[in-house]
Chain A
Amino acid sequence: MTARKPRIAVFKFASCDGCQLSLLDAEDELLTVAELIDIAYFPEASRRVKKGPYDIGLVEGSITTPHDVERVREIRKVCRTLITIGACATAGGIQALRNWKDVKEFIRLVYASPEYISTLDRSMPIGSYVHVDFELRGCPINKYQLIEAINAFLWNRKPNIPTYSVCVECKLRGNVCVMVAHGTPCLGPVTQAGCGAICPSYQRGCYGCFGPMESPNSPSLSRHFAEIGQSKRDIMLAFRGFNAYAEAFRKESEAHEG
């Protein structure tokens, strides 16, 4: 019996292309993966277009234009399973920093010919417009987590992606805690694992690429930041980064405004 290969499509909204690039960066796995699945729609890699429906849709980027709202709704209709990949698709990305500005004023300041541009007031995650089956974190995502997520959905099982904090990864690597040992502010205690604790391994504090872990105690971390000499503004900026609009980080940065 030869089963039909599962069809996968890759879609892009406002983003840097880095998360979908992770698929092409899986140099050792790419050709094997391509034997097992049919990459039916992936414009960054192929000019060939196979029409939907698709078994899995991978969505990169955030929704920032009226046109993209319509587009993501159409995409949802043709994908049996929809997986968002990365901080833009999952939390609005770094471009969600606009969400705290008056966009009309912002555009007037910034654009030579604002009438050429169509944009929404806010940069929002995919999940605020359509149902999402699984959200893959990271700025960028971890390519092995991507392969795990695809694999899991093809076999109808839950992806094995931990939701504990970066601290656990630091312990597993045997890192000395940069905050305890050097007083370096580190978002590790409130950030979801997945990167492999690379920042502390390179002697700097975590800056929250993977967004809030499952049960973050952000106010407690903020109090500690203040104790080690961080200003209110420093704390606000720390939480207002690549996952600024993820709820736990958004509330914490707003608590330190002004």
Chain B
Amino acid sequence: MKTNSTTIKVDYLARVEGEGSVFIKLKNGVVADVKLKIFEPPRFFEAFLRGRKYSEVPDITARICGICPIAYQMSSVHAIESAFGATVDGSLRSLRRLIYCGEWIESHMLHVYMLHAPDFLGYDDVLQLAKDYPDIVQRGLKLKKVGNDLVALLGGREIHPVNVRVGGFYRVPDKKELQPIAERLKWARDAAIETVRWVATFTFPELDQDYEFVALRHPDEYPLNEGRLVSNKGLDIHVREYEFSFEEEHVPYSNALHSILKGRGAYFVGPLARFNLNFDKLSPLVQEIAKEANALPEIRNPFKSIIVRSLETLYACDEALRIIEQYEPPEKPFVDVTPRRSFGFGCTEAPRGILYHRYRFGPEGAIEDAKIVPPTSQNQRTIESDLRNLVSTYSSLPRSELTWKCEQAIRNYDPCISCATHFLKLEIEQE
């Protein structure tokens, strides 16, 4: 029998943050090979962090990603504070949550309106979309700006903010400074509801797998900065136990490591995982709008992540307003820390999913060893398995349509390739 072998290639994935490509091989209509290739050049962050002072770390790790610098700063400061035995609570803890809400709004709205929605409506990009739907795109841009302005207010600027430090902030706002943004967040909350209603009308390609969803879970709140690592298949560990349960593999075709759950394989992090595992912690308003949109856990179709991102944006607006309403400035903008020879662990919920940092410090607080695992490297294996399934389901589609569907499926994860590639390294053995 003659073998009918074809390949689907996308040489440069568009509308993702960073540089990647995809390679799919079909034999007689059956998927033979799928490779998500990341060719973003490595930048060696974990290596050059060695020898840097603890106080410099949040500024340096922010530079891993221009889209989610707060996530890097938050995982950093939590890891450092855990190493030095410091606790940041009260108003300072709330302010951290507030700035993280700003980043979720900014990052999610960038993805929903500018990177992902054009796929569902058949446009190459948001500028084409804006020609037919100017009011909707304006709403998205305005929402994104509220998120950016919240980050800039608390952080000094929206990309690589300067105000986050170990122990808290360099400067904290007074109550009055937060009022103008609160007014805009009220508008944003309504606009986020409209966003949920809009994206819920999209047509979603079929894709459904029995994923293992992994996210933080906190007893009192929807997870941002703190919690235990849990899954829908029984994982329930402290953040410091991360490396007992997860490991990274180096594959020849990608400049980013693949993370797997030991003994179980691929897993799924990000908005869908958070939502499915923490629906009960969302505010009543978000739960109500989710019901109205018929978006209730367990959502297993990754294409529907666009609805969940919109719901999380609504939550971030709602939560930011709650924090501002209850805010009382702390007596001091930061708590003091005392460096010591130590290990520290931090894991927070970046917009794209869990972001794990582990550091080892010398006696003066200089980094001796660092490990950072970004969300996109954790989702890579799952993205490949989605592509396998998708291509099997839709193999009869014309090539260009199928290729576009594959691109869209990758964008379901809002992959940040810039992040994923900076962590090529495996565990360093100390002699």
Residues on A lying within 8 angstroms of B by beta carbon are 12-19, 21-22, 24-25, 27-28, 30-31, 34, 39, 42-48, 64-65, 68, 93-95, 97-98, 101, 106, 109-113, 116-117, 119, 123, 139-140, 195, 198-199, 201-204, 207, 209, 234, 237, 241-242
B126: which of A45, A201, A237 is its contact (CB, 8 Å)? A45
User: Do A198 and B156 touch across chains, with their CB atoms under 8 A apart?
Assistant: yes
**B425 located at the interface, meaning its Cβ lies under 8 Å from any Cβ of chain A in the complex:** yes
0/1 per residue, B406-431, Cβ < 8 Å to A?
01000000001010000011101000
User: Do B66 and A19 touch across chains, with their CB atoms under 8 A apart?
Assistant: yes
Looking at chain A's contact residues, the main secondary structure is loop
- CB-defined A-B contacts under 8 Å, sample of 14: A18-B66, A28-B141, A31-B137, A45-B15, A45-B114, A46-B14, A94-B63, A106-B44, A106-B47, A109-B428, A110-B425, A112-B250, A123-B43, A241-B59
The closest CB in chain B to the CB of A16 belongs to B66
User: Do B43 and A14 touch across chains, with their CB atoms under 8 A apart?
Assistant: yes
User: Do A17 and B141 touch across chains, with their CB atoms under 8 A apart?
Assistant: no
- Complex CA gap A94/B208 in Å reads 41
Nearest chain A CB to B182 CB, angstrom units:
19
The closest CB in chain B to the CB of A204 belongs to B170
User: Do A237 and B424 touch across chains, with their CB atoms under 8 A apart?
Assistant: no
**B159 located at the interface, meaning its Cβ lies under 8 Å from any Cβ of chain A in the complex:** yes
User: Do B162 and A16 touch across chains, with their CB atoms under 8 A apart?
Assistant: no
**B171 located at the interface, meaning its Cβ lies under 8 Å from any Cβ of chain A in the complex:** yes
- A139: B residues at CB distance < 8 A: 63, 160
- B428: A residues at CB distance < 8 A: 109-110
User: Do A117 and B159 touch across chains, with their CB atoms under 8 A apart?
Assistant: no
- Complex CA gap A65/B17 in Å reads 19
- B46: A residues at CB distance < 8 A: 110
**B125 located at the interface, meaning its Cβ lies under 8 Å from any Cβ of chain A in the complex:** yes
User: Do B15 and A17 touch across chains, with their CB atoms under 8 A apart?
Assistant: no
Instruction: Given A43-B12, A111-B250, answer yes or no on A94-B160 (Cβ-Cβ < 8 Å).
Output: no
Nearest chain B CB to A161 CB, angstrom units:
17
User: Do B64 and A16 touch across chains, with their CB atoms under 8 A apart?
Assistant: yes
Nearest chain B CB to A108 CB, angstrom units:
11
From A14, A195, A202, A204, name the one whose CB has the most chain B CB atoms within 10 angstroms: A202
The closest CB in chain A to the CB of B249 belongs to A112
B15: which of A22, A46, A110 is its contact (CB, 8 Å)? A46
**B347 located at the interface, meaning its Cβ lies under 8 Å from any Cβ of chain A in the complex:** no
Those 9 A-B pairs whose CB atoms lie nearest each other, nearest first: A18-B66, A46-B125, A47-B14, A112-B426, A48-B124, A97-B48, A198-B156, A27-B145, A95-B43
Given contacts A111-B250, A241-B59, 4 further A-B contacts (CB under 8 A): A15-B66, A27-B148, A68-B41, A204-B163
**B186 located at the interface, meaning its Cβ lies under 8 Å from any Cβ of chain A in the complex:** no
User: Do A237 and B52 touch across chains, with their CB atoms under 8 A apart?
Assistant: yes
User: Do A198 and B162 touch across chains, with their CB atoms under 8 A apart?
Assistant: yes
- Complex CA gap A202/B99 in Å reads 15
User: Do B127 and A113 touch across chains, with their CB atoms under 8 A apart?
Assistant: no
**B110 located at the interface, meaning its Cβ lies under 8 Å from any Cβ of chain A in the complex:** yes
User: Do A13 and B170 touch across chains, with their CB atoms under 8 A apart?
Assistant: no
**B16 located at the interface, meaning its Cβ lies under 8 Å from any Cβ of chain A in the complex:** yes
**B67 located at the interface, meaning its Cβ lies under 8 Å from any Cβ of chain A in the complex:** yes
User: Do B14 and A237 touch across chains, with their CB atoms under 8 A apart?
Assistant: no
0/1 per residue, B134-161, Cβ < 8 Å to A?
1001100110110010000000111110
The closest CB in chain A to the CB of B125 belongs to A46
- Complex CA gap A201/B170 in Å reads 10
- B59: A residues at CB distance < 8 A: 207, 241
- Complex CA gap A25/B106 in Å reads 9
Nearest chain A CB to B361 CB, angstrom units:
15
- Complex CA gap A241/B114 in Å reads 32
- B416: A residues at CB distance < 8 A: 17
0/1 per residue, B34-71, Cβ < 8 Å to A?
00000011111111100011001001100111110100
From A24, A47, A48, A93, name the one whose CB has the most chain B CB atoms within 10 angstroms: A47
A195: which of B14, B144, B157 is its contact (CB, 8 Å)? B157
From B115, B127, B333, name the one whose CB has the most chain A CB atoms within 10 angstroms: B127
Nearest chain B CB to A129 CB, angstrom units:
14
Nearest chain B CB to A49 CB, angstrom units:
8
Nearest chain A CB to B148 CB, angstrom units:
6
A116: which of B17, B52, B162, B250 is its contact (CB, 8 Å)? B250
- Complex CA gap A19/B53 in Å reads 26
**B19 located at the interface, meaning its Cβ lies under 8 Å from any Cβ of chain A in the complex:** yes
User: Do A47 and B159 touch across chains, with their CB atoms under 8 A apart?
Assistant: no
**B18 located at the interface, meaning its Cβ lies under 8 Å from any Cβ of chain A in the complex:** yes
Q: Which parts of B377-424 form the interface with A (CB within 8 Å)?
A: 404, 407, 416, 418, 424
The closest CB in chain A to the CB of B148 belongs to A25
- Complex CA gap A92/B336 in Å reads 34
**B88 located at the interface, meaning its Cβ lies under 8 Å from any Cβ of chain A in the complex:** no
- Complex CA gap A242/B156 in Å reads 18
Nearest chain A CB to B73 CB, angstrom units:
13
From A24, A27, A28, name the one whose CB has the most chain B CB atoms within 10 angstroms: A27
- Complex CA gap A241/B59 in Å reads 10
**B180 located at the interface, meaning its Cβ lies under 8 Å from any Cβ of chain A in the complex:** no
- Complex CA gap A139/B13 in Å reads 25
- Complex CA gap A112/B428 in Å reads 9
- B128: A residues at CB distance < 8 A: 48
